[in-house]
């Protein structure tokens, strides 16, 4: 009899494409993914204390706070071989590892998604701009990051912190036997090859090809501000109520993209001052990823490889 709890977790990093991967994997007949994409059960106690930022409370209310509720997300499980969940927050808090092992077992498989850390940080920033929560310029927000940490803002506001990968990945590789690293850039450009590796890693049929590979879920960027885009992006009690009573499905995501797509504007380039600040801050981290974990950084910011 199949045990109705996850045997794999997608843990990394915010704004690295975990939403798309969630829906791609959900297409596979041998893989079960819960309707709610991010559960954050093993970090809910930490995240519940980080609520000082604008609308942070509304976002955190969807985190699962009890193991009984967590298990309910898998009540519709049939005979799928691979059972998963996506919670980017786990990679940021190694203190949750013991609880993961206790509840899910020591043989849990881990998939970590990484992306050019500067693009990830800027996408993170634009996400909060879209929601009308972030009011500072990108550089100002980077300067205010430590202050926001001290004030207990949600960690989604920590743009550079969420782009520091190496030490966090090393902890997970030390603690778990099966850890697979996936690049967002590869998933976008070579989805078939990446999914083949993931299927092999999860020990499911590797010949399966999802029909939704042409879809991008939660694409970033900036949009015109109007009633439609405000409804879909801005945090509100009405939006939170709808999310609670109506499970978000792929077709709903598709409808959303069609409705807001015509309002998408050209994504601004990151300003050079912020770019250089992040290159200096993250360069050693990136080079360690390349050296120790053999992550190809050729399609990441070229300034990382300049002496």
How many separate helices (H) and strands (E) can be counted in the chain?
Answer: 15, 7
Element (H, E) at 260: helix 250-261
**Closest of 68, 70, 67, 7 to residue 38, by C-alpha:** 70
For the chain, give every domain's residue range: 8-294
61-70, 96-105, 224-233: which has the minimum mean pLDDT? 224-233
Asked if residues 183 and 112 have their Cβ atoms less than 8 Å apart, the reply is no
Rounded CA gap, 239 and 242, in Å? 5
Element (H, E) at 37: none
6 backbone dihedrals φ, ψ, rounded to 5°: -60, 145
Predicted confidence (pLDDT) per residue in 95-126, tens digit: 999 999 999 999 999 999 999 999 999 999 99
Rounded CA gap, 295 and 285, in Å? 12
Residue 1: what pLDDT? 46
Predicted confidence (pLDDT) per residue in 35-58, tens digit: 988 999 999 999 999 999 998 888
Residue 104: what pLDDT? 97
Tell me the two tokens of residue 248.
């978000």
Confidence of residue 252 (pLDDT cuts 50, 70, 90): low
Confidence of residue 61 (pLDDT cuts 50, 70, 90): confident
* Buried b / exposed e along 287-307 (16+ C-beta atoms within 10 A): ebbbeebebebeebbeebeee
Q: At what angle do helices 272-293 and 166-175 cross, to 10 degrees?
A: 30
Query: Does the pLDDT at position 216 exceed 90?
Result: no
Asked if residues 89 and 47 have their Cβ atoms less than 8 Å apart, the reply is yes
Can you name the CATH fold of 8-294?
Answer: Rossmann fold (3.40.50)
Rounded CA gap, 199 and 219, in Å? 24
Rounded CA gap, 121 and 39, in Å? 22
Residue with tokens 């050296």: 291
């Amino acid at each position: 009899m199949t045990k109705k709890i996850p045997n794999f977790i997608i843990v990394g990093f915010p704004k690295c494409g975990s939403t798309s991967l969630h829906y791609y994997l959900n297409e596979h007949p041998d893989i079960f993914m819960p309707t709610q994409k991010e559960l954050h059960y093993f970090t809910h106690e930490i995240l519940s204390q980080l609520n000082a930022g604008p609308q942070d409370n509304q976002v955190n209310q969807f985190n699962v706070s009890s193991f009984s509720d967590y298990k309910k997300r898998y009540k519709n499980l049939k005979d799928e071989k691979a059972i998963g969940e996506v919670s980017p927050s786990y990679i940021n808090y190694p203190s949750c590892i013991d609880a993961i092992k206790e509840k899910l077992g020591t043989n849990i498989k881990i998939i970590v998604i990484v992306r050019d850390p500067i693009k990830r940080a800027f996408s993170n920033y634009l996400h909060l701009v879209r929601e009308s929560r972030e009011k500072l310029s990108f550089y100002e927000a980077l300067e205010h990051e430590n202050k926001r940490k001290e004030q207990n803002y949600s960690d989604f506001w920590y743009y550079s912190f969420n782009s520091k990968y190496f030490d966090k990945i090393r902890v997970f590789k030390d603690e778990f036997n099966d850890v697979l690293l996936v690049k967002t850039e590869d998933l976008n450009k070579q989805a078939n090859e990446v999914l083949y590796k993931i299927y092999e890693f999860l020990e499911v049929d590797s010949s399966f090809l999802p029909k939704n590979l042409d879809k991008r879920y939660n694409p970033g960027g900036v949009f015109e501000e109007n009633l439609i885009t405000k409804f879909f992006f801005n945090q509100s009690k009405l939006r939170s109520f709808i999310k609670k009573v109506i499970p978000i499905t792929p077709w709903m995501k598709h409808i959303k993209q069609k409705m807001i797509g015509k309002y998408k504007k050209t994504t601004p380039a990151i300003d050079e001052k912020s770019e250089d600040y992040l290159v200096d801050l993250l360069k050693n981290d990136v080079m360690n990823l390349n050296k120790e974990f053999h992550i190809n950084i050729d399609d990441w910011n070229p300034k990382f490889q300049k002496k």
